[in-house]
Amino acid sequence: MKTIAISGKGGAGKSTISALIIRWLKDQEMGPILAVDADSNVNLNDLLGVEIEESVGAIREEMKRSAHKLPGGMTKQAFLEYKIHASLKETRDFDLIAMGRPEGPGCYCYANNLLRDIMKNLSDNYSFIVIDNEAGMEHLSRRTTQNIDHLVLVSDPSARGIRAAARISKLLKELDTRIGEKLFVLNRVKKHIPDVLGKVIDEEGLHLFSSIPEDDTLLQMDQSGKPIWKIAEDSPAYQAVHHMMQKLLKREKNGV
Amino acid sequence: MSKLIATKAIRGAHALVKRAEEELHLAIQQKGPETKVEFPNTGYYLPVSHGILGLHIQTLEGLQDLLDEAKKLLPALPTDKLWVPYLGNTLDAGMATLFADEIIEAIKYTQDPPPYLIEANPDEEHLWIGAADDIIMRERGIEFVDGTAPGFAACVGYCPTNEMAVKIARELQEKNLYVFMSAATDGKSMAQQLREEGIQMGWDTRLVPFGDDVTATIHSLGFATRAALSFGGAQPGDYQRILRYNKNRIFAFVLALGPVDDEKHAQAAGAINFGFPTIADTDIDQILPSGICTYEHVVSPVPLEKIVSKAIEVRGLKINITKVPIPIPYGPAFQGERIRKEDMHVELAGQFQPGFEFLTTKDMSEVDDGKIDVFGPEIEDVEEGVQIPLGIWVEVAGREMQPDFEPILERQIHDFINCANGVFHMGQRDINWVRISKEAKAKGFIFHHFGTILHAKIHGEFGKIADKVQVQIYTREKEIVELRELARKVYKQRDDRLADMTDEAVDTFYSCTLCQSFAPNHVCIITPERSGLCGAYNWLDGKAAFKINPTGPNQPVKKGKVLDADKGQWKDINDFVFQNSHKTLEIFNAYSIIEYPMTSCGCFECISGLLPSTNGIMIVYRDYTEMTPSGMKFSTLAGAVGGGVQTPGFIGHSKQYIGSQKFISADGGAKRIVWMNKALKEEMAPVLTEIGKLEGVEDFIDKIADETDAITEEEVLEHISKKNHPALAMPPLF
């Protein structure tokens, strides 16, 4: 089981890249894949062209709210596990789970402790876990998502986006989450990377792993509400993700 | 951990890597780099390097890569002056050791003839049989997965007497464990001792003599690695999964018998990577804190008489013997497996079809042991991908059986069915949910087998109380809906019985130290009548959590001698709290807000506080952010009450506790409540009205003030005087 997490500033294209990675893994027949939507602002499910009925966050709230009126005799562990498995959106190519909105006030130690165990057991059933993370990385800091083998830090071609990626990278060092490697990816690149951005990248101590070109196909799909899941294989963004993933998996094979 | 033991392991690793380098150099010189190396008849190459690194070594030259990896991992020897964390380095040294072992063992097989007998069992002349081939692996490996053999003991060294060696071997065999023997010390080994006593050895008797060299220990770990590759679905090179699989599924450990030298220390370090602890009979340095292994890593000195039981305890091994006669593999390894929709043949009950699970007691004469009936379509009658209803009705008879055990046995249906490979089970009672995979169906699994599993497991695990078991499986809606109504009536009776459970009725409470990460001196004691203050845990949850994770934050605590029945004080509870609050709290009353009240972490749902002039208390829920009559808002109160300090006059508690008979019962109980924030009051109204009735107080709810009546203590006093609140007539609080 390998975990790939995608993070970066809001609007950098995390969900798009997540969806492209999932699609690529499916095309390579590397499944089963578990897609985790851990960004409550954007909906990965729309990009993948599926509906989601209930999120983990909502289930957690429900459990907390009705703590003393759970279905009789059922422990909270059993209840939560049942509900989470039931919330999983299943397709032929991947399963999707939505983490939902962040925590409200009150104590979450107990609920998150249960959640960690359940998520861990669930993850063991898949070859790849792809996590679309929100910028704040709440699920990582609460350790409700798994350790990560490859963290893809995405930025749009802006100084602010690059700095945000660098900040996330530093922040993660302080967390108790094990991260295999961090890969910096620049998204929506027009032809070439302007020198001024190259300088910011260097200043922040980042190393460019891959760049994804600006792709009109994506824009058009977005405008017409067509899920990115259906993208044509010859589109430039898909091709770029293809090269990125090949490189990523090859590095892994070589034990980098 | 101690620097001493790390130093020994690292020193041993250096010696073995050096030896591997020399032997490899020599072998290449003598035989040429293209010389083939392999363990006989295996498709796993050299299993440890294949599994952990993904290497496909086939020649002497190929071993060079493995040697390079070993060297890369080899940490520097700790110097006299340097003190650093050692566990990481020791683990690396352990892994380097395993690589060196594998190189040395592989070279042995290039000798003609090899020093090992290539058979499943030793013969008269040859004792040592070396690496297991794939036929043995397939035959024996599945036993590790389905629980027939829970694991193995890798025995290194020798016992002081032959008699002792035989005794230990027998004890391990009785537990269904495999005994892997290697690494002689001063030319003496356990396998030789067994041979001198005429004991039959080999894979057939589960007493396997690998080799006398210390490096032959690798064949134990090679076996473990292959188990993860072939049964755990791990890919070569996915070392994390391989190691985790072994930690979680293969209950193995190392018994270090007799003197332990540097190279054996290095082997122990290698085994720790797999989550296998080492138990020694001689006095070596211990590694007690847990981390990689489930519990301790190295334990010594343990007398030989007790070494097997100690090893089982340290490895966290549970012995489970029953073989379930179904055509698919069965064992705890398959718990938590999700059947994806893609792979599913049929879904039973769940969100779209009715279902239930029910277990009941019958008279001995009414139960025909082992009788299993299926009412409705069997698996071959249903099309692929459909959803159908499911009812499971279990009848148990036994001399020791009591209705109180029914829910406990019934809850086990989940675990029992989940252990079948290709069967997914969730939920319980009338919200059960089952999936059966296409693969399980192809292997011959049918609905009837639910009964087979339950019959076998209830006998196996509850043999003491269950003498006869019969099972009915329903897959037709009509009967299921009818029987579900019957079952629901019983569920309700059980719940009512549970709700009536009192603190006096049990002799054990449960602790909760989940929040010690931020309130290090706080301990919750959860009783049937006082749930955890966060509202998340009740007594049953504590009990269930302990069953699931025996070393977790919820531990059973015996009450011990009653010191004060009214205030709720017990000797053993006091002792436990004292120890676990890091000696900050000596006395504790479960039912009082005034005298030695229970402490809080900070997760409380509610805070109760004294309002002295009213002779009563106020309760505020954590969502209420406005001022309270105590002159403090919830946040300020929380700061004063949380953090594990005793604050007489204040307690944090769950909503549920307000309705408990034991709610500050030492101080007069719920009748003391003079103020609540409105939302909480409304939510608790049914419970409080009930209490009012019992206490003979009319319109009790109306007598309790809220923020619309009063926000200062004076206003509260005014309100309750006007309403003639019962607190005013009660004895003074202090």
What confidence category does residue B642 fall into, taking pLDDT thresholds of 50, 70 and 90?
A: confident
- The pLDDT tens digits for B471-525 are 999 999 999 999 999 999 998 887 777 677 889 988 999 998 877 766 778 899 9
Contacts of B656 in chain A (CB under 8 A): 68
pLDDT of residue B515: 74
Whether B484 maps to a domain, the answer reads yes
Could you tell me if B339 and B196 lie in one domain? no
What is the percent of chain B where pLDDT is above 70?
96
Angle between helix A216-223 and helix A236-253 axes, rounded to 10 deg: 110
Q: What is the rounded distance in angstroms from the CA atom of residue B620 to the CA atom of residue B629? A: 10
Whether B236 maps to a domain, the answer reads yes
* Residue B218 half-sphere exposure toward CB, CA atoms < 13 A: 28
pLDDT of residue B233: 75
Whether B123 maps to a domain, the answer reads no
Q: What is the rounded distance in angstroms from the CA atom of residue B141 to the CA atom of residue B725? A: 73
Q: Which domain holds residue B255?
A: 134-315
What is the percent of chain A where pLDDT is above 90?
38
Name residues 226-255 of chain B within 8 A of A (Cβ): 237-238, 241
| Domain final position from B315, B350, B369 | B315
Could you tell me if B454 and B538 lie in one domain? no
Helix (H) or strand (E) holding A211: strand A208-213
| Among B334, B428, B433, B533, the residue to mutate for chain A (most A Cβ within 10 A) | B428
Quick one: tokens of B252? 């193995």
On whether the CB atoms of residues A150 and A4 are closer than 8 A, the answer is yes
On whether the CB atoms of residues A165 and A206 are closer than 8 A, the answer is yes
Q: Does B341 touch chain A (CB under 8 A)?
A: yes
Whether B382 maps to a domain, the answer reads yes
Main-chain phi, psi angles of B609, to 5 degrees: -145, 150
CB-based burial, A164-185: b 16+ in 10 Å, e otherwise:
bbbebbeebeeeebebbebbbb
Residues counted in chain B: 734
Q: How many helices (H) and strands (E) does chain B have?
A: 22, 23
Name residues 383-402 of chain B within 8 A of A (Cβ): none
Main-chain phi, psi angles of B172, to 5 degrees: -70, -40
Beta bridge partners of B372: B471
Q: Tokens 């991908």 identify what position?
A: B385
Q: Does B340 touch chain A (CB under 8 A)?
A: yes
* B543, pLDDT greater than 60: yes
Whether B124 maps to a domain, the answer reads no
Q: How many CB pairs under 8 A join A and B?
A: 97
Instruction: Name the more confident of B106 and B463.
Output: B106
| Among B52, B338, B406, B513, the residue to mutate for chain A (most A Cβ within 10 A) | B338
ipTM: 0.77
Name residues 417-436 of chain B within 8 A of A (Cβ): 426-431, 433
pLDDT of residue A143: 58
Could you tell me if B63 and B156 lie in one domain? no
Q: Does A76 touch chain B (CB under 8 A)?
A: yes
Q: What is the rounded distance in angstroms from the CA atom of residue B649 to the CA atom of residue A13? A: 55
Could you tell me if B434 and B307 lie in one domain? no
Beginning with the edge strand found earlier in the chain, give each strand of the sheet holding B524-526 in spatial order: B524-526, B508-512, B556-558
Q: Which of B673, B676, B674, B701 is nearest to B623 (CA)?
A: B676
Give the distance from residue B672's alpha carbon to the nearest chain A alpha carbon, in angstroms: 24
Q: Does A103 touch chain B (CB under 8 A)?
A: no
Work out the mean pLDDT of chain B and round it to a whole number.
Answer: 89
Q: Does A66 touch chain B (CB under 8 A)?
A: no
Whether B390 maps to a domain, the answer reads yes
DSSP type of residue B152: E
Find the range with the poorest average confidence among A143-157, B336-350, B596-610: A143-157
Contacts of B426 in chain A (CB under 8 A): 78, 81-82, 85-86
Q: What is the rounded distance in angstroms from the CA atom of residue B295 to the CA atom of residue B253? A: 12
* B291, pLDDT greater than 50: yes
**Closest in A73, A82, A107 to B495, CB measured:** A73
Whether A74 and B427 lie within 8 Å, measured CB to CB: yes
Quick one: tokens of B419? 């252990």
C-beta atoms surrounding B632 within 10 Å: 18
- The pLDDT tens digits for A65-79 are 665 566 656 767 788
- The pLDDT tens digits for A167-181 are 888 877 766 567 888
Q: What is the rounded distance in angstroms from the CA atom of residue B540 to the CA atom of residue A82? A: 18
Q: What is the rounded distance in angstroms from the CA atom of residue B468 to the CA atom of residue B458? A: 9
C-beta atoms surrounding B26 within 10 Å: 11
Q: Tokens 């749930």 identify what position?
A: B531
C-beta atoms surrounding A220 within 10 Å: 10
pLDDT of residue B596: 93
Could you tell me if B493 and B544 lie in one domain? no
Q: Which amino acid is at B328?
A: I
Q: Give domain limits for chain A.
A: 2-253
What confidence category does residue A142 fall into, taking pLDDT thresholds of 50, 70 and 90?
A: low
Q: What is the rounded distance in angstroms from the CA atom of residue B241 to the CA atom of residue B470? A: 40
* B81, pLDDT greater than 70: no
On whether the CB atoms of residues B453 and B414 are closer than 8 A, the answer is no
Q: Residue B293 is part of a domain; what is its CATH number?
A: 3.40.50.2030
On whether the CB atoms of residues A42 and A172 are closer than 8 A, the answer is no
pLDDT of residue B321: 47
**Closest in A77, A90, A253 to B340, CB measured:** A90
Mean pLDDT over B663-684 rounds to 92
| Among A68, A89, A143, A250, the residue to mutate for chain B (most B Cβ within 10 A) | A68
Whether B300 maps to a domain, the answer reads yes
Mean pLDDT over B136-157 rounds to 82
- The pLDDT tens digits for A228-239 are 999 999 999 999
Q: Can you tell me whether residue A253 is helix, strand or coil?
A: helix
* B97, pLDDT greater than 70: yes
Q: Tokens 């062209």 identify what position?
A: A49
Q: What is the rounded distance in angstroms from the CA atom of residue B120 to the CA atom of residue B127? A: 11
Handedness of CA B393, B399, B400, B404 (dihedral sign): positive
pLDDT of residue B227: 86
Could you tell me if B516 and B477 lie in one domain? no
Name residues 652-711 of chain B within 8 A of A (Cβ): 655-656
Whether B548 and A77 lie within 8 Å, measured CB to CB: yes
pLDDT of residue A71: 62
* B9, pLDDT greater than 50: yes
CB-based burial, B547-575: b 16+ in 10 Å, e otherwise:
eeeeeebbbebebeeebbeebbbbebbbe
Could you tell me if B602 and B628 lie in one domain? yes
Q: Does A65 touch chain B (CB under 8 A)?
A: no
Q: Residue B553 is part of a domain; what is its CATH number?
A: 3.40.1470.10
Mean pLDDT over B127-151 rounds to 82
Q: What is the rounded distance in angstroms from the CA atom of residue B66 to the CA atom of residue A252? A: 17
**Closest in A64, A109, A122 to B515, CB measured:** A109
Could you tell me if B279 and B371 lie in one domain? no
Whether A68 and B411 lie within 8 Å, measured CB to CB: no
Most confidently modeled of A96-100, A183-187, B361-365, B580-584? Answer: A183-187
| Domain final position from B281, B315, B349 | B315
Could you tell me if B559 and B674 lie in one domain? yes
What confidence category does residue B30 fall into, taking pLDDT thresholds of 50, 70 and 90?
A: very high
* B80, pLDDT greater than 70: no
Could you tell me if B295 and B373 lie in one domain? no
Contacts of A73 in chain B (CB under 8 A): 407, 411, 428-429, 491, 494-495, 498
Q: What is the dihedral of CA B642, B647, B649, B651, to 10 degrees?
A: 30
Find the distance separating the first CA and the last CA of chain B, reported in whole Å: 52
* B6, pLDDT greater than 90: no
C-beta atoms surrounding B403 within 10 Å: 12
Q: What is the rounded distance in angstroms from the CA atom of residue A76 to the CA atom of residue B544? A: 10
H-type alpha helices, B568-652: 571-580, 634-641
What confidence category does residue B140 fall into, taking pLDDT thresholds of 50, 70 and 90?
A: confident
Q: What is the rounded distance in angstroms from the CA atom of residue B625 to the CA atom of residue B627? A: 7
Q: Tokens 């999707």 identify what position?
A: A96
| Domain final position from B108, B123, B158 | B108
Angle between helix A109-123 and helix A76-87 axes, rounded to 10 deg: 50
* B65, pLDDT greater than 70: yes
Q: How many domains does chain B have?
A: 4
Q: Does B633 touch chain A (CB under 8 A)?
A: no
Query: Would strands B344-349 and A128-133 be described as parallel, antiparallel, or unpaired?
Result: unpaired
Q: Which CATH superfamily is domain A2-253 in?
A: P-loop containing nucleotide triphosphate hydrolases (3.40.50.300)
Q: What is the rounded distance in angstroms from the CA atom of residue B671 to the CA atom of residue B530? A: 17
Q: What is the rounded distance in angstroms from the CA atom of residue A4 to the CA atom of residue A123? A: 12
Q: Does B623 touch chain A (CB under 8 A)?
A: yes
Whether A78 and B623 lie within 8 Å, measured CB to CB: no
What is the percent of chain B where pLDDT is above 90?
57
On whether the CB atoms of residues A96 and A19 are closer than 8 A, the answer is no
Q: Does A78 touch chain B (CB under 8 A)?
A: yes
* B468, pLDDT greater than 90: no
Q: What is the rounded distance in angstroms from the CA atom of residue A247 to the CA atom of residue A210? A: 9
pLDDT of residue A110: 63
Mean pLDDT over B174-179 rounds to 83
Whether B411 and A67 lie within 8 Å, measured CB to CB: no
Could you tell me if B516 and B617 lie in one domain? yes
- The pLDDT tens digits for A10-63 are 888 999 999 999 999 999 999 899 998 887 776 899 999 998 888 888 887 777
Residues counted in chain A: 256
Query: Would strands B298-299 and A2-8 be described as parallel, antiparallel, or unpaired?
Result: unpaired
Could you tell me if B493 and B513 lie in one domain? no
* A107, pLDDT greater than 80: no
pLDDT of residue B513: 85
Q: Residue B419 is part of a domain; what is its CATH number?
A: 3.30.1650.10
pLDDT of residue B76: 87
Cis amide linkage into residue B259, ω under 30° from 0: no
Cis amide linkage into residue B301, ω under 30° from 0: yes
* B645, pLDDT greater than 50: yes
On whether the CB atoms of residues A172 and A151 are closer than 8 A, the answer is yes
Main-chain phi, psi angles of B150, to 5 degrees: -70, -25
Contacts of A106 in chain B (CB under 8 A): 603, 605, 622
Q: Tokens 């402790």 identify what position?
A: A113
Work out the mean pLDDT of chain A and round it to a whole number.
Answer: 83
Whether B150 maps to a domain, the answer reads yes
Burial class (CB in 10 A: 0-12, 13-18, 19+), B113: exposed
Handedness of CA B160, B163, B167, B173 (dihedral sign): positive
Quick one: tokens of B605? 């749902």
CB-based burial, B678-715: b 16+ in 10 Å, e otherwise:
eebbeebeebbeebbeeeebeebbebbbbbebbbebee
- The pLDDT tens digits for B376-388 are 999 999 999 999 9
- The pLDDT tens digits for B216-234 are 999 999 999 998 888 777 8
Q: Compute CA A231 distance to the chain's CA centroid, rounded to the nearest angstrom.
A: 19
Contacts of A255 in chain B (CB under 8 A): 53
On whether the CB atoms of residues A123 and B550 are closer than 8 A, the answer is no
Give the distance from residue A166's alpha carbon to the nearest chain B alpha carbon, in angstroms: 28
On whether the CB atoms of residues B193 and B111 are closer than 8 A, the answer is no
For the entire predicted model, the pTM comes to 0.56
Contacts of A65 in chain B (CB under 8 A): none
Q: Does A250 touch chain B (CB under 8 A)?
A: no
